[in-house]
Amino acid sequence: MSRMCEGRVVVVTGGGRGLGRAHALAFAAEGARVVVNDLGVGLNGTPVADSPARHVVDEIRAAGGDAVAHGGDVATSAGAESLVEAALETYGRLDTLVNNAGFLRDRMLVNLDEDDWDAVVRVHLKGHFLPLKHAAAHWRAEAKAGRAPAARIVNTSSGAGLLGSLGQGNYSAAKAGIVGLTLVAAAEFARYGVQVNAIAPAARTRMTERAFAETMTAPEAGFDAMAPQNVSPLVVWLGSAASDGVTGRVFEVEGGRITVMEGWRAGPTADKGARWTPQEAGEAAVKLLGEAGVPGAVYGA
C-alpha cells in the first residue's frame, strides 16, 4: 500500500526536538522527503553548540528516509526565504510547510520585560508568518504557471492561545495570533491550491515538561498520553493530499483525542435599533451574559 506522503517534500520548522522532531520522523515514515529546520537554541532562545536538526536528519536517513538540515532563523525574511530555497534546490519542489518553531520566556505580566515579550512574539508569530509568506509566494507562482499545487500549511497554536495561560501572556498572545493568521491565510491562499490549518497540541516537550510535571501519570498499557508522537499522525494527514477540502480549521490534539475547536461566533444578541444609554447597555449586557455559555478557564487559574 502506498504511503500517505510518498513523493511529497515537507518542511518542518523547530524540527530538532519535541513535537517538531516527532513530526519530521512521522512524515519521513510516510514517504516524505523532509527539510528539518532548527536554529539550535535552548528553551529560552539562547544558542547551544549542538545541531538537533542534524541528529533528526541522521535518524531519518538511518531508517531509509531522505532528509536535509536547515539551521536558519525563520523569524527573519532571509532565513525563511532560504528555508523554502533549501527545499526547492535539494528536492525541486515544496508541498507542505509545518510551522512549529518556538520557545518560552514565562513571567507574570507585571514582571514581563519588553525584551521577553518581543522575543517570544517574534519566534512564534513572526516565525510563522515569514515561512508561510515565502512558501505561499512559491505556490502562487506555481499556480499562475498552470501547475496548481496540492499544498498544505500546518501551524502550531496552543490551548494557551485559545484560553490563556497564567504566567504566559507573551506566549498566549502569540499563539492566539497564530489562529488569526491561519484563518486569513486559509482564505487568501485557497485560490492557489493551498490549505492552511492549525493544531493546538498538548504533549510533553522541553516547553511543557514543567507545566505537566504535577499532573502527569505513568503510561497505562504502554500508551503514554503525553508523548509528542501522538500529535504527529493528524499533522501528517493535514500535510498530505488526503486532507483535500480541509482548511481554516483548528484542531486540539492530546493523547488519543482529537477535537475540532470552534472559535468566536455570534452568541446571544440584543439590538435596540438605536443608541443605548450606558445604563441600558449595562442591563442588556447582564441579560445577555446570563444567556451565554460559560467560557473555559484560563490555564493555571
Identity of the amino acid at 238: L
**What's the CA dihedral at 173, 178, 183, 184 to 10 degrees?**
100
Question: Grid coordinates representing 117?
Answer: 515579550
Write b or e for each residue in 40-68: b if 16 or more Cβ atoms lie within 10 A of its Cβ, otherwise e.
Answer: bbeeebeeeeebbbbbbbebbeeeebebb
Q: Which residues are catalytic?
A: 158, 171, 175
Question: Grid coordinates representing 267?
Answer: 452568541
Q: How far apart are the first and last CA of the chain?
A: 48
